[in-house]
Structures are given as C-alpha cells and as structure tokens.
Amino acid sequence: MNSNIEFLLKDVCSRLERMELKLNKLETIEKSVLTLETKMSNMEGYMLGMKTYMNKVKQEVQEVSEEVHGIKFVVEVHGMKFDVSEVEDSYKLTRQENQKLKNDIVDIQARFMRDNLVFVGINEFQNETPDKTEAILLEFLVNDLKMSQEDADVIKFDRVHRTGSLEKKPRPIIAILAEYKQREKVRFMAPNLEGTHFYINVQYPPEIITERKKLYPIFKKNKDEGQNVRMVYNKLYINNVLYKPRGSVES
C-alpha cells in the first residue's frame, strides 16, 4: 500500500516538473514575443518618421526647383555680362532663320531647274562638243524615245551638255529645254524606254534628290499596292494626301 502511494507521489512530482519546464519555456516565448512586438513598434515608428522626412525633402526640392526656374543665369566675359537664357534664345532663332534660308535657296534652285532633264545611258564620243551632244540627243528622241520627227524638230534647247567625271562614261546629259511644256512632252514619253538601259529624270538640287531617295521605297510600296501615288519635288502624295514620315515636325 505504501509503495503504491510512493509511486503515485513520484509520478505526480515528475509531471509537476515537466509542467514547470513547459511553463518556463512559455514564459521565455512570451518574453521573445514582447521583445519582437517592441521592435516592430519601433520599426513602424522609424518607417513613419522616414516617410515624413522624405515628404519634407520632396517638398523642399520642389520649392528649390521653382526658385531656380525663375533665376536668370548671367555670365561675364571680358567684363561684359550676358543673360544666358537670352543668348540661347537668340541662338535658336538664328538656327531657325538659317534653316529657312537654306530651304529658300533649295527652292530657288529647284525652280531654276524646272525646265531641265537628265538623260542617262546615251553613248558619248571622244572630244564631244556641246553641239555634237545636242545632235546626239535629238537622234535619241527619235530613235529610242520613239518621238516623231515632226515633234523632235520643234524641240528647242537653251543648253545641252554632259556632266560628271570624265572617268565614268557615258556621262549623263543635262538638257535645258526652252519651254516647260516641251520638257513635259519629253518626260511623259519616258515609259517608252522601259526595258532599256536608258532613263530620264528631272534635275533637282542634291538636297531634294536625297529626300526623294528616302521617300522612294514608300512610293514603290504604295504603287505596287495599287495606290495613287505621285512625288512633287521632295513631297510624296498618296491618294492625294501628303505623306508625313513618323516623327516628322511641321516646318
């Protein structure tokens, strides 16, 4: 009987010890949780403080930016003061005026060349004179362009000459026709040269030629698709609407 009671007491004591250990662990965990909560609370306070600080910095930067925007920057060169913003505006205006002047010069050149045609591929002879070149061109109009002799006889040239390097023959022929209508009559017969090594172009300034080359792939693509396309100087019209390359700025 006594032995049973002793056994039960030992068992109870053992259980109490285990419970005490668990309680100690729970107490340790509770302390850790409290410490973590304290750290989280401190972190939230820190983050809130940082947010407030960043907002303050942002506001100060905005205020400084607004102040700087209104400042006139002045530089001094050899004792003379210049307003940088005014100099910059003057520079931009000068560039715009120069570009407009260049465009006007190109336009004048194009108008001056409006009666000129370029003939490419026509044989060139040794020591060829301008008169000989004109005679060769008239023969070309009849024999290759298939113009009637009667129409060829009334064609009048102000000037006919070869152009380009003597090392690359035959050189193109530049023909300045006396009348614009005659130029168009010759030009509209150019399809008769299809399948030959000859071709006829209107003469343009180099600047316009460069722009036309850039537009030609668009011209050909739309023409192959059956669109109504035409090129006037350096402008491309598709179905009577001016083509504007993406990103272009109206001048």
Q: Are residue 156 and residue 189 in the same domain, yes or no? A: yes
Q: Distance between CA atoms of 233 and 237, rounded to whole angstroms?
A: 11
Last residue of a domain, one of 53, 88, 111: 111
- What SS3 class is residue 49? helix
* 61 in a structural domain: no
Please indicate, yes or no, if residue 24 is contained in any of the structural domains.
Answer: no
**Is 172 in contact with 120 (CB distance < 8 Å)?**
yes
Is 129 a member of any domain?
yes
Examine residue 229 and state whether it is found in any structural domain, yes or no. yes
Q: How far apart are CA 205 and CA 210, in angstroms?
A: 9
Cα–Cα dist 123/169, whole Å = 8
- Element at 109 (helix H, strand E): helix 84-112
- Reading the chain (251 residues) residue by residue, the pLDDT tens digits are 556 566 655 665 666 677 777 767 767 766 766 665 665 565 566 566 666 766 676 676 666 555 545 444 555 555 555 555 665 666 677 778 777 877 778 777 777 777 889 999 999 998 899 999 999 999 999 999 999 999 999 999 999 999 888 888 899 999 999 888 999 999 999 999 999 999 898 888 888 888 888 888 999 999 999 999 988 888 889 999 999 877 555 54
Same-domain pairing of 223 and 187: no
In a domain, 189, yes or no: yes
Locate tokens 């002879």: which residue? Answer: 125
- Greatest Cα pair distance, the chain, in angstroms, is 152
- Looking at 70, 95, 111, the residue that finishes a domain is 111
Question: For the chain, what is the domain count?
Answer: 3
Which residues lie closer than 8 Å to 175 by C-beta, 6 or more apart? 116, 117, 118, 119, 137, 157, 159, 160
* Torsion sign over Cα 67, 73, 74, 75: positive
Q: What range defines the domain where residue 177 resides?
A: 115-203
Helical (H) or strand (E) element with 80 = strand 80-83
